[in-house]
């Protein structure tokens, strides 16, 4: 078999790259190789959210996500919103004075996330536009920073009365990642992309360039001659890099989430994504506290848990998704991702800090569905998109917790690198060659904030 470019991995990264290369850049023979069915390793495990709220240094993450959201909105427009993209926003809440939240909001705004509108109950307050549950048109961008308790209670009566400041980031929401991925895959196939079921087992790089790729298929080994290759192998990207003789700083982190039926409607069906931005002491009764304090194995349940528990309603029934990385669960690709047996209870109790009605489930915990995958991460939590130091080899990986939201722009960026089209300003920030720059390596030693959720 002969190809112009072989992409290893039919997760969202590989599919988005294949689709852009074939359907937009006009590359003829694109072959997508995966040993699993498309979109089934990490890309179907996400919470499916998107945001343009990111910290620095620099504006690269905001620019990449803004571009990706532009392209997502355009695709949603062309397909009659086939993947149910909404723009409900991210609602960060704190019981504190909100200085940290305000600083993050102003930072994201200065980097391109849109204006900050302060609502503190003063005479000159701008008007607050509530979000719509469906669709994405006609919504404000930027961030509504709300310190007016009356406004918070009026629009979010189900939120903890302790929520004193909220930041409603507006160019954010969620979509159906599976339908989004299948839309891209259909486009790719229509444009001539071939999907091969098999495992990339070796890459011939004699002469310092990509020559061919050996794929083990159910029908036997097959060699695909190709001058181009893309590593889009998600959590297996380090293995593929080893086949290429390339070393890049990529680590894995296991993350899980729960979903469960919410017959009490504790989470309003039209809520945005809700994030509690303060550390949490799990709520227990006095008796429970005394019991938990007795045993060494349960004492940690009384300690403060880190900020960031979050959740949202899911679909049109009564399902709710909750997600909290209070601990890194595994750093090896073991499937299913091992998790703390107490994760569902800890997460429901933790989220009740933001949405007190969840306490209705303390006595009889719902039976949750638990799933998860790996964040494939660089040390500074920025993706790797661009050429590798082997002629014809590229990478599109390390998408951590943002691979769905960045897929459109990452596919476009990968295709621009591979075809020699002009590159956007943010290209260098994501190119693997950034680690060759001593100034960048120095910055890494003191990287301020990763923006991980």
Ligand X SMILES: Cc1cc2nc3c(=O)[nH]c(=O)nc-3n(C[C@H](O)[C@H](O)[C@H](O)COP(=O)(O)OP(=O)(O)OC[C@H]3O[C@@H](n4cnc5c(N)ncnc54)[C@H](O)[C@@H]3O)c2cc1C
Q: Which of 41, 258, 266, 409 binds ligand X (CB under 6 A)?
A: 41
Q: Quick check: 47 binds ligand X (CB under 6 A)?
A: yes
Q: In whole angstroms, how far apart are CA 391 and each of 34, 259, 272, 287, 302?
A: 23, 45, 45, 66, 55
Q: Are 333 and 311 in contact (CB under 8 A)?
A: no
Q: Return the DSSP state at 118.
A: E
Instruction: Give min distance, CB of 416 to ligand X, in A.
Output: 18
CB of 438 to ligand X, least distance (A): 29
Within 11-40, the residues that bind ligand X by CB under 6 A are 11-14, 33-36
The verdict on 45 binding ligand X (CB under 6 A) reads yes
Cis upstream peptide for 57 (omega within 30°): yes
Size of the site for ligand X (CB under 6 A): 40
User: CB of 337 within 8 A of CB of 255?
Assistant: yes
The C-alpha atoms of residue 190 and residue 188 are separated, in whole angstroms, by 5
**Which is nearest to 257 in space by CA: 159, 369, 151?**
369
Residues 426, 64: contact at Cβ < 8 Å? yes
CB of 408 to ligand X, least distance (A): 11
Q: Is 404 in the site for ligand X (CB under 6 A)?
A: yes
CA 273 to chain centre: 13
Residue in 407, 121, 172, 131 with CA at minimum distance from that of residue 275: 172
For ligand X, the binding residue among 235, 272, 308, 451 (CB under 6 A) is 235
The count of other CB atoms within 10 Å of the CB of residue 129 is 13
* Among 5, 21, 172, 200, interactor with ligand X by CB under 6 A: 200
Q: Of the candidates 5, 62, 72, 233, which one interacts with ligand X according to CB under 6 A?
A: 233
Taking each helix axis from N to C end, the angle separating 60-78 and 177-190, rounded to the nearest 10 degrees, works out to 70
Place of tokens 């991460």: 377
* CB of residue 207 to ligand X, shortest distance in Å: 23
- The footprint of ligand X on residues 346-385 (CB under 6 A) is 372-373, 375
Of 9 and 55, nearer to ligand X (C-beta) is 9
In angstroms, what is the minimal distance from the CB of 267 to ligand X?
16
Distance CA 416, CA 117 (A): 36
Which CB, 42 or 94, lies closer to ligand X? 42
Binding residues among 255-314 for ligand X as defined by CB under 6 A: 255, 257
Is 199 a binding residue for ligand X by CB under 6 A? The answer is yes
Return the residue of 184, 203, 384, 405 that touches ligand X, per CB under 6 A. Answer: 405
* Closer residue to ligand X in complex, CB, 50/116: 50
Residues that bind ligand X (CB under 6 A): 8-14, 33-36, 41-43, 45-50, 199-200, 232-236, 255, 257, 372-373, 375, 397, 399-405
């Amino acid at each position: 078999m002969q190809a112009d470019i072989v992409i290893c991995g039919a997760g969202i990264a590989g599919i988005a790259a294949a689709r852009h290369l074939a359907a937009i850049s006009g590359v003829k023979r694109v072959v997508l190789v995966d040993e699993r069915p498309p979109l089934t390793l990490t890309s179907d495990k996400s919470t499916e959210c998107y945001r343009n709220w990111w910290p620095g240094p620099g504006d690269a993450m905001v620019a990449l996500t803004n571009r990706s959201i532009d392209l997502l909105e355009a695709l949603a427009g062309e397909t009659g919103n086939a993947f149910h993209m909404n723009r409900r926003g991210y609602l960060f809440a704190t019981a504190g004075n909100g200085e940290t939240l305000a600083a993050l909001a102003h930072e994201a705004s200065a980097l391109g996330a849109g204006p900050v509108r302060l609502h503190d109950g003063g005479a000159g307050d701008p008007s607050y536009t509530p979000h719509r549950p469906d669709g994405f048109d006609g919504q404000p961008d930027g961030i509504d920073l709300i310190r007016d308790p009356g406004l918070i209670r009026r629009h979010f009566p189900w939120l903890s009365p302790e929520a004193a400041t909220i930041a409603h980031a507006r160019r954010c929401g969620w979509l159906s990642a599976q339908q989004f991925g299948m839309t891209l895959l259909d486009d790719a196939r229509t444009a001539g992309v071939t999907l091969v079921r098999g495992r990339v087992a070796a890459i011939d790089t004699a002469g310092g360039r990509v020559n061919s790729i050996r794929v083990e298929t159910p029908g036997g080994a097959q060699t695909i001659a190709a001058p181009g290759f893309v590593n889009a192998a998600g959590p297996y990207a380090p293995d593929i890099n080893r086949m290429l003789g390339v070393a890049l700083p990529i680590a894995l982190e296991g993350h899980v989430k729960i979903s469960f039926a919410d017959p009490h409607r504790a989470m309003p069906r039209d809520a945005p994504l809700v994030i509690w931005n303060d550390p949490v002491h799990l709520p227990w009764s006095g008796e429970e506290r005394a019991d938990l304090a007795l045993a060494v194995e349960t004492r940690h349940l009384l300690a403060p848990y880190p900020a960031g528990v979050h959740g949202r309603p899911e679909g049109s029934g009564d399902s709710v998704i909750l997600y909290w990385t209070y601990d890194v669960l595994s750093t090896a690709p073991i499937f299913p991702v091992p998790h703390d047996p107490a994760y569902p209870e800890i997460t429901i109790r933790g989220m009740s800090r933001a949405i007190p009605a969840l306490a209705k489930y303390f006595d009889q915990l719902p039976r949750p569905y638990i799933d998860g995958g790996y964040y494939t991460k660089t040390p500074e939590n920025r993706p790797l998109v661009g050429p590798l130091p082997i002629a014809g080899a590229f990478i599109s990986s390390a998408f951590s917790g943002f691979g769905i939201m960045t897929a459109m722009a990452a596919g476009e960026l990968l295709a621009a690198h591979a075809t020699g089209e002009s590159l956007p300003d943010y290209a260098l920030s994501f190119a693997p060659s950034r680690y060759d720059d001593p100034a960048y390596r120095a910055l890494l030693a003191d990287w301020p904030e990763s923006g991980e959720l």
